[in-house]
Amino acid sequence: MGICNGRTVIITGAGGGLGRAYALAFAAEGANVLVNDIRADAAAAVVDEIVTQGGRAIANSDDITRLDSAGRIVDAALSAFGEVHVLVNNAGVLADRMFVSLTEEDWDKVMQVHLRGHFCLANILARRWRDAAKAGKHVDARIINTSSGAGLQGSVGQANYAAAKGGIASLTLVQAAELGRYGITANALAPAARTAMTQAAMPDVVKAPEDDSFDLWSADNVAPLVVWLGSSLSAEVTGQIIESQGGRISLGDGWRTGETLDKGARWQVTEIGEAMSQLLGRAQPAQKVWGS
């Protein structure tokens, strides 16, 4: 009996990289898996792997960025498996340029896949789960989003991607606060692994070791955390941003009110410089932007 036995998970962008690793790991722990990817052949190949190993899975290539097509994804999972318990929003895309070189198309493409893609399926499923909870049914549901170190700290040459991933982190906090009453948890990952995107962006950094040493960048390293978050065992964990790479798991320490000066009256323009100097002198420096 696996820790996800009988649970059904929808995973987007699961035709390769992290999504494929998640799909295989969920199936190994007894979950029914809907493998979604715009590349139908890639999704089908992952399903074949799962079925060959004795698991249950179906392939789907519907668009995650529209509510109507996202609805078809949910309907396919319900038809095949009866219910959905877990959503892993994993699909992503890059359009990297320095900020001054970004086009509207670069910006909109990344926002559509990451932010709209995180909204549509989660919105449909959250409504379903909320209605079930209000009808008196037991709900033990999970939303697992994908942020990034770029979204938490910024990344040179990735203003659009960093903004989208930062938005996903904030979205996760709101989802956790609003949906907990219905038996739904929401957490976000900031995974670091070898995928098609990272191989394109930094191939020398993420390449596999040539010997038998630990593969720090293997997507398989992240999968156990995702499967645990999708299980009933994680019911008390919500609203967390979790970084994962190799053998490391870290909790993100998010925005919070820091060093403060309160004059008790309106500040004069001539006083602001000294006040800011005091605050900055006492504050803990933020982590550097990636690439700076």
Is 148 an active-site residue?
Answer: yes
Catalytic residue among 22, 147, 148, 155, which?
Answer: 148
> What angle do the packed helices 40-52 and 17-28 form, to 10 degrees?
30
The distance from CA 34 to its chain's CA centroid, rounded to whole angstroms, is 17
Residue 162 is encoded by which pair of tokens?
């960093």
Active site residue 137: no
Extract the tokens encoding 284.
């803990």
- Return the DSSP state at 189: E
**Per-residue tokens: 236:** 């008390």
**Among the options 22, 147, 155, 165, which is catalytic?**
165
Residue 11, strand partner residues: 35, 88
Tell me the residue type at 174. Answer: V
Alpha-helical (H) ranges within the chain are 17-28, 40-52, 67-81, 104-111, 117-134, 149-153, 159-179, 196-201, 203-206, 223-230, 269-282
Q: Which of 22, 147, 155, 161 is catalytic?
A: 161
Q: Which residue has the tokens 């040539």?
A: 210
Residues with Cβ within 8 Å of 116's Cβ and at least 6 positions away in sequence, in order, are: 64, 65, 66
Q: How many CB atoms lie within 10 A of CB 233?
A: 12
Residue 206 CA to residue 229 CA, distance in Å, equals 25
| Residue 108 identity | D
Any idea which residues carry the catalytic annotation? 148, 161, 165
